[in-house]
Amino acid sequence: ILTKLVTEPSLSAMYKVAGFLAGVDSLNKIEIEFLGKRQGRRILHLQCHSGLDSLSLVRRGAQHVTGVDLSDRAIDKAQELAETLNLTTSTRFICCNIYDLQKHLSCNQGELYDIVFTSYGVVGWLPDINKWASLISQYLKPNGVFIMVELHPVLWMFDEMFSRIEESYFNQKTFICQRDGTYTDRNAPISNSSVEWNHILLHL
């Protein structure tokens, strides 16, 4: 379903690709402050989507960034952007289920990362947070850092218009979500269903 939810026109509009190609940074102030010094660092970017933040990290001095996402369309776009910006030697993009990452990316001692990074709208797609955390730990160098910038799970309590509370904050059931359009374009001519999960702060 994530592949279907990524379309070229809506992706370009929502993520302001034209501005990015012209030099606008896709990272927000909070991510930049948390990431700190990036010069010479190897960074693993989980659930990287179309790679704008991954490429921004390279433009900000990271030695190498590996981006991972489930959507083949998003990864194709990331690779296309890397080629356009001549950043293919300092980036790698992998399309796979995040839980299968070890089948696609080595976690041998000499190939570990200084930083594992992920941001915004990530944990809701993960059925097993502990397994995800274990995966992250296997890719970090000794004294490496995991950085996550995420939306507060209180958002899961509200309906899509944020006009009323529909769910308990502590609800741990699986959500089957039916939507028209995509998360990048509500008017896109597509109807879809997705499976999502709520993780409260205590579990994170």
- Per-residue confidence band for 2, with pLDDT thresholds at 50, 70 and 90: very low
Q: Are the CB atoms for 41 and 63 separated by under 8 Å?
A: yes
Q: Is residue 196 classed exposed, middle or buried when 0-12, 13-18 and 19+ CB atoms within 10 A define those classes? A: middle
pLDDT digits (tens, 9 = 90+) for 91-130: 999 999 999 999 999 999 889 999 999 999 899 889 999 9
pLDDT digits (tens, 9 = 90+) for 145-177: 999 999 888 887 788 788 999 888 888 878 777
Domain boundaries, the chain: 27-151, 153-204
Q: Are the CB atoms for 1 and 193 separated by under 8 Å?
A: yes
Checking if the pLDDT of 11 tops 60, the result is no
The C-alpha angle 42, 45, 49, rounded to 5 degrees, equals 145
CA dihedral (17, 115, 68, 46) in degrees, to 10, reads -90
Token pair, residue 13, equals 């509009």
φ and ψ of 175, to 5 deg: -95, 125
Checking if the pLDDT of 46 tops 50, the result is yes
3-state secondary structure of 20: helix
d(CA 74, CA 51): 8
Checking if the pLDDT of 5 tops 60, the result is no
Residues 6+ positions from 112 with CB-CB distance below 8 Å: 42, 139, 140, 141, 144
Looking at domain 27-151, does it have CATH number 3.40.50.740? Answer: no
Residue 1 pLDDT: 39
String of b and e for 161-192 (b: at least 16 CB within 10 Å)? Answer: eeeeeeeeeeeeeeeeeeeeebebbeebeeeb
Mean pLDDT (the chain) is 86
The dihedral region occupied by 102, where left means phi > 0, alpha psi between -120 and 50, and beta the remainder, is alpha
Q: In whole angstroms, how far apart are CA 91 and each of 31, 45, 95?
A: 19, 10, 14
The stretch 33-55 carries a mean pLDDT of 93
Residue 18 pLDDT: 86
Q: Which amino acid is at 202?
A: L
d(CA 105, CA 113): 12
